[in-house]
């Protein structure tokens, strides 16, 4: 049985890609137009574009906001001096298989201060690339600090600790085993209701967004269902307190002050919004005859590229599921991939790594064409087990993969200051022996 998250302090709209509209005060949204000469209740109308104005309808992402003051009303941005690798965007591109032990939690940091770039590829300015971050923090953001990224859409995968996220469009409460997507430009504050938090983030710089994959012959339902995605409802504060916008722009942080709350949207309508999803609702589909299907069958969200069937990045999960394939090697196969594979573990274990070393809060990276697969122990067990019987794997576990079509570079923080396991390759694959016996003539 799947485990669902049932308790939530907030209520949501449901349905990814639906047109949603929300009013904290009835009568906020104009009828029959978007930008009336004078909006209701003395509000200002402002448009938030997440796609080109001329994008085809099914790709268009636009939201109209009705707010107490326009977003324009702020003081100039100033660069924040940081010492971490965000500024440099200098990556080591190395073919070695890398595995990290659980990343240390920076309990003195808040969500923004504890955001560290681990890996990435491409270029923010041309909207072509991705970044992979580890976030770790022990403090809530100041209520008057508000973060947003101009660089891309962020998929946030909590591993430890709940996040109480207040966005411009409303509030979302996100726990480990749930994911959150905050599209480019949407402003938010992260509070930590139950202490320390850690997780993984994939940021996509592309003009395309995190979308549900096509289902093809699977049919009209399965994998992540649109209905299970939750979208916040409008909630506003009317305040003249000084707030600080913290903007990630071109990989660097900038700050600007304003004497009003950015959380002043009384109503909104459109298709560009943040959303969350409970991974426990995932409908895993697999082989009911033979062989191990490719992990694309476990895609939750995909960031499409212009090349048909080729994503810029996929987010796939290895959720609890039954394996029934007969006369088959059931765990992940040995392989070399034209994609970069970043795998993280939210909870429990992973069926391809029985020998240990892959732990919740840690990660691995298998870059383009870097050989990887089951470790010796997994291989032995799977070669000997009785495949006439169904087998439940992943009970109490949740692993995930960011599969990225770029050559993934690792930051200095990722290679030098993070818990890289020196013995990963030898530990996992060093013990394979030859069993080759050609037939005697
Ligand atoms: O390498 C990995 O751990 C991810 C993975 C899982 C799987 O089931 C098949 C291929 C694959 O790359
Ligand atoms: Fe793989």
Contact 323, 289 (CB under 8 A): no
For ligand 2, an ion, list residues with CB under 5 A: 341
For ligand 1, whether the C-beta of 401 sits within 6 Å is: yes
Q: Tokens at residue 320, please?
A: 């609890």
**Residue at which a domain ends, from 279, 295, 327:** 279
Ligand 1, from 298, 317, 330, 352: best to mutate by most atoms within 8 Å of Cβ? Answer: 352
Q: What Å distances lie between residue 201 and 164, 287, 324, CA to CA?
A: 16, 30, 33
**Residue at which a domain ends, from 246, 279, 312:** 279
Q: What is the pTM of this model?
A: 0.97
**Can you name the residues that pair with 211 across neighbouring β-strands?**
302
Tens of pLDDT along the chain (441 residues) come to 566 777 899 999 999 999 999 999 999 999 999 999 999 999 999 999 999 999 999 999 999 999 999 999 999 999 997 655 454 468 999 999 999 999 999 999 999 999 999 999 999 999 999 999 999 999 999 999 999 999 999 999 999 999 999 999 999 999 999 999 999 999 999 999 999 999 999 999 999 999 999 999 999 999 999 999 999 999 999 999 999 999 999 999 999 999 999 999 999 999 999 999 999 999 999 999 999 999 999 999 999 999 999 999 999 999 999 999 999 999 999 999 999 999 999 999 998 888 889 999 999 999 999 999 999 999 999 999 999 999 999 999 999 999 999 999 999 999 999 999 999 999 999 999 999 999 998
Assembly ipTM: 0.98
Contact 163, 156 (CB under 8 A): yes
Same domain for 223 and 145: yes
Which active-site residues does the annotation give? 292
Instruction: Give domain status of residue 45, yes or no.
Output: yes
Same domain for 328 and 355: yes
Same domain for 271 and 130: yes
Same domain for 255 and 201: yes
Name the CA radius of gyration of the chain, rounded. 23
For residue range 178-223, list pLDDT tens digits in order: 999 999 999 999 999 999 999 999 999 999 999 999 999 999 999 9
Q: Residue of the nearest CA to atom 7 in ligand 1? A: 332
Q: Is 382 helix (H, G, I), strand (E, B) or coil?
A: helix
Same domain for 329 and 266: no
Contact 312, 304 (CB under 8 A): yes
Contact 356, 387 (CB under 8 A): no
Give which of 323, 327, 318, 341 is closest to 396, Cα–Cα: 318
Q: Please give the residue range of the domain that contains residue 176.
A: 13-82+106-279
Distance 315 CA to ligand 2 centre (A): 13
Instruction: Give domain status of residue 363, yes or no.
Output: yes
Same domain for 293 and 242: no
Same domain for 287 and 265: no
Contact 251, 151 (CB under 8 A): yes
Same domain for 164 and 38: yes
**Residue at which a domain ends, from 260, 279, 298:** 279
**Can you name the residues that pair with 401 across neighbouring β-strands?**
316, 343
């Amino acid at each position: 049985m799947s485990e669902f998250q049932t308790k939530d302090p907030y209520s949501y709209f449901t349905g990814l890609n639906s047109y949603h509209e929300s009013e904290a005060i009835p009568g906020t949204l104009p009828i029959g137009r978007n930008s009336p000469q004078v909006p209701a209740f003395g509000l200002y109308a402002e448009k938030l574009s997440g796609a080109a104005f001329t994008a085809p309808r099914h790709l268009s992402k636009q939201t109209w906001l009705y707010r107490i003051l326009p977003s324009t009303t702020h003081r100039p941005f100033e660069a924040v001096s940081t010492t971490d690798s965000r500024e440099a965007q200098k990556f080591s591109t190395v073919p070695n298989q890398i595995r990290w032990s659980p990343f240390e939690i920076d309990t003195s940091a808040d969500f923004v201060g504890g955001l560290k770039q681990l890996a990435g590829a491409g270029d923010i300015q041309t909207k072509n690339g991705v970044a992979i971050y580890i976030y770790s923090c022990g403090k809530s953001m100041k209520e008057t600090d508000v973060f947003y990224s101009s660089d891309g859409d962020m998929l946030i995968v909590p591993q430890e600790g709940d996040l109480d996220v207040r966005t411009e469009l409303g509030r979302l409460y996100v726990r480990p085993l749930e994911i959150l997507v905050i599209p480019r430009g949407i402003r938010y504050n992260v509070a930590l209701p139950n202490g320390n938090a850690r997780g993984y983030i994939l940021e996509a710089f592309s003009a395309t967004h995190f979308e549900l994959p096509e289902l093809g012959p699977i049919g009209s339902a399965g994998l992540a269902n649109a209905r299970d995605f939750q979208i916040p409802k409008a909630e506003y504060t009317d305040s003249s307190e000084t707030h600080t916008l913290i903007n990630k722009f071109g990989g660097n942080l900038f700050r600007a002050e304003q004497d009003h709350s950015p959380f002043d949207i009384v109503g909104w309508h459109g298709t560009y919004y943040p959303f969350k999803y409970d991974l426990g609702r995932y409908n895993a589909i697999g082989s009911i005859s033979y062989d191990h299907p490719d992990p694309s069958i476990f895609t939750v969200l995909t960031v499409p590229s212009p090349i048909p069937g080729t994503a810029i990045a996929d987010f796939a999960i290895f959720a609890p599921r039954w394996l029934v394939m007969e006369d088959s090697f059931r765990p992940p196969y040995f392989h070399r991939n034209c994609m970069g594979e970043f795998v993280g573990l939210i909870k429990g274990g992973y069926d391809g790594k029985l020998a240990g070393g892959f732990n919740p809060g840690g990660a691995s990276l298998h870059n383009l064409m870097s050989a990887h697969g089951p470790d010796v122990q997994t291989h032995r067990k799977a070669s000997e087990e009785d495949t006439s019987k169904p087998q439940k794997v992943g009970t109490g576990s949740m692993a995930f993969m960011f599969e990225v079509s770029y050559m993934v570079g690792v930051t200095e923080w990722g290679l030098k200051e993070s818990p890289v396991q020196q013995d990963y390759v030898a530990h996992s694959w060093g013990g394979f022996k030859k069993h080759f016996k050609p037939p005697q003539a």
